[in-house]
Structure 1
Amino acid sequence: MVYPIKSLPGLSVKTWKVDEFGLECDRMYMLGHLDPETNKYRSVTLREYPHLSLIKISLHDDEFRVSYKDTTYICLPRIVTLSYLRQYSNLKDQDVELWGVGFKTLVLHQVNLDKFLDVLNLPKDIKLLYSISGKDVKTNSPDNLTTHENFHKTAEDQRFRITKFQEYFPILLMSDKDILQINRKIQESFPEKDDFPPTTAANYRPNILVSGVATPFDTDDWYHYQIHTNTGKYDWLVTSKCPRCSIPNIDPVTGLPDKLHRVSKTLAKHRRVDIGNSNFAFLGIHAVQLQVGYKISVGDRLNVLERRLNIYKPLT
């Protein structure tokens, strides 16, 4: 799954390129509003506007189309050129902040969002942002990242991988058994309630969903794994388990949040499993790519080479 616009639904793809930011085009755009107190842009999220989950993202040739109820409101390029940025932005860096981490962005002032904001009843001051240079992945970045024999530098003296509007890490990976197990636990905890549909990958928003793992939550202690493609074997290092917010409680089909917070309550009961923060519930893992410029596909094999205790650390 690739999420061209942060917090909007993803695009399910069969084959996709891995670049220096993670999956190509992942979170390259973001809806944001300017915080008058800090003068920094902040993300517009599903927590504030759960009905954004009803948006559909599609790819036609090299254009992402953003649609609502079968009407397309925004068209954005898959490959952003300097001429496009000159036309739609003033090319002046603006401050943006994600989870307390500050970096720079471009504001695409000339992309007309009026009809989109109107039909979704969103504030008129929301702008479309584009990440041109991203930010360093520092938190829990593996100590041996740049010394690993397979590490591919994308910039001179680069110590870290970089991301765009991801919540600091290049990709999120989960297994299908994780989701099945959480659904079982939800059903056990709320047997009298049958109006909440079983969760799917859309609730948890992973980039990669793997099948064939031995047990649920087997990924908790993965550290070094390889993805085997038709062009070679490519290495990834795990940075941490993923702490979970309230977004998985939103039904991605209806756009309605679950008032009982069944997913969050179930995760809190069964998935407080990281000594780095005993108050957070975790599901899935974040990982960093060592090589870039190749494609991964549905059906590729994943081989776990090394395990360790992954301890969560706050973003910096």
Structure 2
Amino acid sequence: MSEPNFVVSGLYVYPIKSCAGVSLPESLIVETGLEFDRAWMVVDDRGHFVSQRELPRMALIRPTLRHADMVLRAPGMLALHVAYDSVEAACTVRLWNEMVRAYDMGDLAAQWFSDFLGRPLRLVRYDPEHKRLSDAAWTDGREAENQFSDGFPYLVVSQSSVDELNRRLQARGQAPVSVERFRPNIVISGDLDPNAEDYFDELQIETPQGLVRLQMCKPCTRCNIPNVDPQTGATGHEPGDTLSLYRQDMRLNGAITFGMNAMLLQGLEHLLGIGARGRATLDF
């Protein structure tokens, strides 16, 4: 079987974990994934992270990345400017079962998030001196650094997978969904079979600085966040119900999966852009 060719058709970062993503024409590859991805996180008064799982209105918080700061907008709220080079007190926060070092972003940001989401919350930034690694059982023992992502520095989804899901949704009388529901970092398009990424070993992508190589690590298990409409924050049962009919993954004891988590093998500090061409090696 020939190695599939593809083009990078989408690049997304999610500066604040579980808030809206930012679609980018290009993004710098850094040690923890795409630059600014999950660099900030919202925590409750115990320091535990919160997400769209319990606060779906987080989907309506929309960041804009600028040269020196990030601007946050949400319905009914004045814009909040978050400087990249400004943090306040050091703190420790909980992400799932991990304790992670971070920096509090101050009372103004805390009040903004608390007012919009309706409970006491604070914004924190990842401490770059903290080294948080992906599960070595899925990385062949290699070190894959993350910031506040759920577990891996990259999530890759093919457009053909989304197209197949939409075909099934429409056959059941349901509305189609956009790729944004799945919060990918890299979307690839081309003459690819639906869910072809399940069987990819490496992505090898050409950039002006040279080759970027991504190792596919682990199928991405899915919770209820894809059931949150990223435009409205409304929750429903789709596409989760339809995915449950054909995406139970025996590699993960029947869990619902969609897309593949990945780690960097080569290409640190390269600039990855929309339209970059690549090929995939296969792993059956």
Of 8, 15, 19, 1:8 maps to 19
8 Å CA contact retained: 2:111, 2:122: no
- How far has the Cα of 1:232 moved from its partner? 0.9
- How far has the Cα of 1:213 moved from its partner? 4.0
Q: Which structure has the larger Rg?
A: 1
Cα distance in 2 for partners of 1:121, 1:204 equals 22
Residues 1-316 of structure 1 correspond to what in structure 2 (within 5 A)?
A: 1-35=12-46, 41-69=47-75, 71-78=77-84, 80=85, 84-85=86-87, 89-91=88-90, 93-94=91-92, 96-118=93-115, 120-124=116-120, 126-132=121-127, 133-143=130-140, 145=142, 160-189=143-172, 191=173, 197-258=175-236, 261-278=237-254, 280-291=255-266, 292-308=268-284
- How far has the Cα of 1:111 moved from its partner? 4.2
8 Å CA contact retained: 1:185, 1:266: yes
8 Å CA contact retained: 1:140, 1:239: no
Cα distance in 1 for partners of 2:139, 2:144 equals 10
Give the aligned length.
270
Cα distance in 2 for partners of 1:108, 1:248 equals 28
Partner SS state of residue 173, structure 1:
strand
- With over 3 angstroms needed to count, the CA separation of the structure-2 counterparts of 1:70 and 1:123, relative to structure 1, is closer
Opposite residue 211 of structure 1, the aligned amino acid is: S
Partner SS state of residue 168, structure 2:
helix
Deviations 1:223-250 (CA, angstroms, capped at 9, x unpaired):
2221111221111111101000111111
Length-normalised TM-score, structure 1: 0.80
Any unmatched runs of 5+ in structure 1? 36-40, 146-159, 309-316
- How far has the Cα of 1:110 moved from its partner? 3.9
Q: What is the aligned partner in structure 1 of residue 8 from structure 2?
A: none
Any unmatched runs of 5+ in structure 2? 1-11
Opposite residue 164 of structure 1, the aligned amino acid is: Q
Length-normalised TM-score, structure 2: 0.88
Cα distance in 1 for partners of 2:214, 2:96 equals 24
Which of the pair has the greater relative contact order for Cα pairs under 8 Å at 6+ separation?
2
Partner SS state of residue 288, structure 1:
strand
Cα distance in 2 for partners of 1:77, 1:201 equals 29
C-alpha root-mean-square deviation of aligned residues, in Å? 1.9
> After TM superposition, what 4+ stretches of structure 1 lie above 4 angstroms from structure 2?
none
Cα distance in 2 for partners of 1:304, 1:58 equals 32
Higher share of residues assigned strand: 2
8 Å CA contact retained: 1:161, 1:288: yes
